[in-house]
Structure 1
Amino acid sequence: MTDHHHPAAVAVADHDSSTVAAPARERPSGAQITDEMIEDARSLIGVWLRRDVHWPAMAEDIAPIDIRRWALYSVGDDNPLFSDEEYGRRTIWGSVIAPPTFLYSIDSTIIAPGMRGIQWIYGGTRWEHHLPVRVGDRITARARLIRVTEKSGRHAQRLVVQTGETLYYNQRDELVARAEADVLRIPRRGSGKGMVGFEDRQAAGRQKYTPEEIEAVRQAYLSQRPRGADPLYWESVAVGEELPAIPKGPLTIVDIMAFYVGRRNTYPPLKLAFQERERHPANVFVSRSTGIPVHPAAGHLDEEIAHEVGMPGIYDQGWMRANWIGHLLTDWCGDQGFVRRLDLRLQTPNLIGDLTWCKGRVTRKYVENGEHLVDVDCWGETQRGDRNISASATVRLPSTSLGADETGTK
């Protein structure tokens, strides 16, 4: 195996927040960003990080159930290309393949070392896909911090963006995908106040729907179908064409729990949670109402912790919305399409009760290196009319100038 799986210089990293031991230095009190924190974080730029928290996901071959669970539970996608082995064998791929965001279940793309006690918020990922992920693959990841940028914004006077690179290889040492992700580091506001700029949403409470509105969502779900085996040829696509919109929501606690069920790794429970806090004591919240220590990810399920983190209410995992954009694209492009590039940017928080309509529009079509490509702008639009995610994608399509099975990567 080549050395990209075993870098000489390693530092301990984990799925969340501050898990790399930055250069020894006395930390300032309070959860405020300091010049020293930023300097320490920048000292880790270029260091290949050991992703030990993801080891269970990277230590085993991918089974049909791994892809099926991710598609059905984490994405909410019943496309048989991702779940039916017999169906997969009849496609150009010859097997079930994974949805374009499946690699989040191998490595989250979160690279946020140092800055202990400063909350991290996932900002988005830029994916470059080279090969499909198949049953039997063993995917490993190599990750490093590549940029640390100081900014100010409407939600925090001082924040830091840490940008990391993750490379995914299969068992043949082939580069399957490259991901470049942004993580925002924002001081925790605490005391249940929520993040600056979101007070109106916190005060408004959860969305209330009429029976007629829920019936409209029901009908949209019932009519939703993947394109499937019917090829979408490059020649038939027009610039300006809109993708069929798909609904996601209204978001419930069960939807968030299902997302966790579909993952190949998640947060440690019970004894393992206490062991994790021994290793990373800054990555914990103590509930003001119960005195129980919890992982900050509890904000995805517990309103009190969500407010402590700085959110206006219980909110989704950002990768859920990334999954939804992937679902929009694969429903549209059919079995022979392949998502080559996917640039995802999270915007407003997606809270319990929010209904997201995933939409897209073709912006460009061209041929490059023998591939027939289409660029698509995508976004998620809520019941309030705002966008909670924006994205751009490049999709490879079959061409009538090629044979039906000559689509490139197989």
Structure 2
Amino acid sequence: MMKRTLDTSDLDRYMGKRLEDSLPLEPVAANDIRRWVQAMHYPNRLHYDRGFAQESRFGGRLVAPQSFAITQDDGHGATPACIGLIPNSHLLFGGDEWWFYGPRIHEGDRIYNERIPYDYVVKETSFAGPTCFQRGDSHYFSREGDRIATQRSTGIRYNPAYAVEMQSSENQDEYVWSDAELVDLEDKKFEFISALHDLGHANRSFSSVSVGEQLPTRVIGPHTIPSLTTEWRAYTMTLWGAMTRRKPVELGWVGDMNGKEMDGEWEKVNPEQTDGAYIGPSRGHLFPRYARQIGMPKAYGYGASMGAWALDYLAGWAGEHGYVSYCNTQYRGPAFAGDITVMTGSVTDKVTRTDGGSEVNVKFSLANQSGVVVATGKAVISLSA
């Protein structure tokens, strides 16, 4: 058998250098925030119910969830983690590491993002042989120059022909849920929603939390092609004419995965070929036939959305007086169409910082209905005394 190889020689010229900007053309609108939490299945009234929000500690303008930052980029944070030509390649999301610095995003804000490729390494994997794990940083700032967050994303770049060759063709069928199971799922989903309602505007204080405490279980799904499409359409970058577009760079996508996705000049000619839903590397999420061309058995979810689910899960538990200051989510596999995602977490430590601040450490996981873990993570959540 011919030795499998992956040519990453072009990547070095990008490392540590700021990429061309690609920014939203308008300020954040209230309905941008509402569209986002609806697509991310996060019914926290703080982010969509103006009356409830005005009674919160934020008041006034509608506040966005912390996960909203990734909508202010033209590649949901992946851009600096997939720059450079790797011939005959494709990309999956491998994880997101977040640092949040305090300022929140509100309706009316203008957000700026600086993207800098960080590093990469090639490893041999059972998924696709030689695989490039590439990392890049996105730094989100307010119009006033306040740093909101830093996102370090991991892109998994591989040769899809190798992945198809090495993967089994089994499990192409989606799980079929009975009517009774669907009713039971709605009850389980409402348990987390009820926990949000029960906390309301109250303060989840540092003193009220114990090591070993279990966070309420959060269930979303079943994931479907319509639900995945709804998620995709909530990213600002997928809206026609919503952002300044950087010049296209050859990345090495192959066959049906190649296209003019996010190409600003072609967007003026035929935008349906540029918004990622129908043509180009993102089409594998929504079309099973294209998913199978890159080693996936069926339609599958977006890694960036999975990271948002985790951030929302943690922030919802923390409440409006709490704050996720750090979160590192590592993706082990996608959320496939037909599956559900079950989020669980627990408090592993309580820390009083030298500056007097109080925070708790949390570990969490995301799994499907069979208990297969699709993501794990750890987070630091700041709570008031």
**TM-score strictly above 0.5:** yes
Counterparts of 1:29-108 in structure 2 under 5 Å? 33-34=5-6, 37-52=7-22, 55=23, 57=24, 59-73=25-39, 75-94=40-59, 95-107=61-73, 108=76
C-alpha spacing 1:189/1:284, structure 2 compared with 1 (3 Å)? closer
| C-alpha contact (below 8 Å) 1:198/1:311 kept by paired residues | no
Q: CA deviation at 1:68?
A: 1.2
- Find the counterpart in structure 1 of residue 98 from structure 2: 127
Q: CA deviation at 1:51?
A: 3.6
C-alpha spacing 1:85/1:51, structure 2 compared with 1 (3 Å)? same
| C-alpha contact (below 8 Å) 1:277/1:284 kept by paired residues | no
Gaps of 5+ in 1: 1-31, 270-274, 400-410
Q: CA deviation at 1:188?
A: 1.0
Q: 1:167 aligns with which of 139, 145, 148?
A: 139
Letter aligned with residue 63 of structure 2? I
Letter aligned with residue 121 of structure 1? L
- Find the counterpart in structure 2 of residue 201 from structure 1: 171
SS state at 2:320 partner: coil
| C-alpha contact (below 8 Å) 2:11/2:83 kept by paired residues | yes
Letter aligned with residue 90 of structure 2? Q
- Find the counterpart in structure 1 of residue 149 from structure 2: 177
| C-alpha contact (below 8 Å) 1:145/1:163 kept by paired residues | yes
Asked if 1:374 corresponds to 2:360, the answer is: yes
Distance between the aligned counterparts of 2:314 and 2:9, measured in 1?
40
Distance between the aligned counterparts of 1:210 and 1:122, measured in 2?
31
Aligned length: 349
Asked if 1:219 corresponds to 2:178, the answer is: no
Q: 1:358 aligns with which of 335, 343, 349?
A: 343
| C-alpha contact (below 8 Å) 1:61/1:136 kept by paired residues | yes
Q: CA deviation at 1:334?
A: 1.5
Letter aligned with residue 55 of structure 2? R
Letter aligned with residue 146 of structure 1? Y
- Find the counterpart in structure 1 of residue 227 from structure 2: 255
Distance between the aligned counterparts of 1:267 and 1:196, measured in 2?
36
Gaps of 5+ in 2: 258-272
The TM-score, its normalising length taken from structure 2, stands at 0.84
Counterparts of 1:332-351 in structure 2 under 5 Å? 332-351=317-336
Q: 1:237 aligns with which of 205, 209, 215?
A: 209
SS state at 1:50 partner: coil
SS state at 1:39 partner: coil
Superposed CA RMSD in Å reads: 2.6
| C-alpha contact (below 8 Å) 2:330/2:375 kept by paired residues | yes
Q: CA deviation at 1:267?
A: 7.4
Distance between the aligned counterparts of 1:311 and 1:381, measured in 2?
18
SS state at 2:109 partner: coil
Greater shift in the superposed pair: 88-97 or 75-84: 88-97
Q: CA deviation at 1:345?
A: 1.0
Distance between the aligned counterparts of 1:394 and 1:89, measured in 2?
27
Distance between the aligned counterparts of 1:267 and 1:158, measured in 2?
35
The TM-score, its normalising length taken from structure 1, stands at 0.79
Counterparts of 1:144-163 in structure 2 under 5 Å? 144-163=116-135
1:281-305: CA deviation from partner (whole Å, max 9, x where unpaired) = 9546439xxxx99312111111110
Distance between the aligned counterparts of 1:323 and 1:258, measured in 2?
14
Distance between the aligned counterparts of 1:125 and 1:286, measured in 2?
27
| C-alpha contact (below 8 Å) 1:285/1:294 kept by paired residues | no
Asked if 1:286 corresponds to 2:256, the answer is: yes
- Find the counterpart in structure 2 of residue 319 from structure 1: 304
Q: CA deviation at 1:165?
A: 1.1
C-alpha spacing 1:195/1:129, structure 2 compared with 1 (3 Å)? farther
